[in-house]
Each structure stands twice: as C-alpha cells, then as structure tokens.
Amino acid sequence: MKRVQLHNEPDSNDSGHRGFSLRGAARILACAVVILIANSLSTVLAEVQVYGYVRPMGQVSLTIVPTNEPVVAVLCKARYHIGVADLELEQAVSHAAQQHHVQPALLLAVMKAESSFNPTVVSKAGAVGLMQLIPETAIRHGVRNLYDTNENVIGGAKHLRYLLDRFHGNIRLALAAYNAGERKVDRYGQIPPYKETQDYVKKVLVYYRSYKKEGWIMPVVMTAPSAHARQPY
C-alpha cells in the first residue's frame, strides 16, 4: 500500500477429433500435475523450469531436463510470479476473500496494482509484499510476518473490508484510501487530487473488471475428461 507524499505525488474426421481431445486433455492434466508438484517443492526450486511431456498414448512425464524424444513438451510458467506458487496464492486469496467478505477479483486486482504479485517487494515507503502493507497497517490487522503469503493477503483483505465499511461500500473511495490513506480521503470528501492516487484507482478498477469478466482463478481440482469424450472447440 503506497502512501502519497504531500509534495509529490481440423479435419472433421472422428479419429482426428479424438486425437485432439486426448492431446488437449493430457496437456491440461500435465499442467495441473506440474502446478501441484511445484507447490509442494521447496522454494529453492522456484526458478527451475519443469517440463511436462505428453507421450503419443497420453502418458504424462515430468522432468527438469529437456529431452529430444518425439513428444509434445508443455512448459508451465508461473501464472502470477516466480516467487509464489500459483496454488498457494489462489488459496490465500480465496480464503481471505471468503473470511472478510471481499470479492476475490477485487482482492486480486489490488494485489496486481500494488505488487504485481511479487511477495518480497518493498516500496520506498516501506510497504511490504503482495498487498504492500505498511507496518502500521500490518500491526492494526494482526499481521506478524509480512512475507508470509497467507498473512499478507489476509491483512490486505481485512484492510480493504475496513475501508469499504468506512466509506459505505464506495469502492473508488476505499481504493483511494488504500493508496493515499483514509485521512486524505476524509479531507477532500472524494478521491484526493493526486495523480498517483487517481491513476491507481483507475488501474485497479480496470484489473477488477477484467478478473470479474474472464475468471481469476484456475480450478484447484481438475478431473481428466474421458478418453472417448468429444470436447468443444
């Protein structure tokens, strides 16, 4: 959370369809397996590229070493940031949003604008982590470890809930207060006339609408389709 300074600111052939379906399903399953395994590995491996190979019959093989075998390679990159496992972040957002009655898409939009999903970034003003919490705000909401994904996201969600309640559900004012401080919003009775804050509110709202429209999270549990099922294109 940044503080604004006063002086600144195909063929139709059936066998072809089935082949496409099998390969598509296998690729999806490969990525799902890679994500789950990456989530359980030590963060020391965070920068290691994990390759999922789908063999001709649909079997999935995982390795950190590229191969010359004639198979389809599926490289699963971090959905959000290399510093945090996708599943860990999504579960933290889902839990915090439900616990503090904040829409997941809004929580994710603030996180994107604040830190671009970097869990270790520290601003010049001393704001830390995914939700860019300053120490004062962290203490107020019971956050002890600003670098812990769950604690940081929960702290941000609690603060957003507090601001939404304080400004009677006005999302724009709550976002302005998240960026510039609630006293600045109180002083002006509207979004403060700081370019940084005005741009921030616009940016978060763009992210918010996008996440709401497109869907913000991959399913945690994936069920592999039947090998004989026809898939929509």
Active-site residues, by number, are 114
- Helical pair 171-180 and 149-166, crossing angle rounded to 10 deg: 120
CA distance 31 to 116: 22
Say if residues 60 and 54 touch (Cβ distance below 8 Å).
yes
109 token code pair: 């939009």
Closest CA to 171 of 185, 160, 179, 181: 160
Torsion, Cα 221 29 217 84, to 10 degrees, reads 100
Task: Tell whether the torsion through CA atoms of 82, 83, 87 and 89 is positive or negative.
Answer: negative
Say if residues 166 and 182 touch (Cβ distance below 8 Å).
yes
Polymer length of the chain: 233
CA distance 150 to 145: 9
Say if residues 200 and 173 touch (Cβ distance below 8 Å).
no
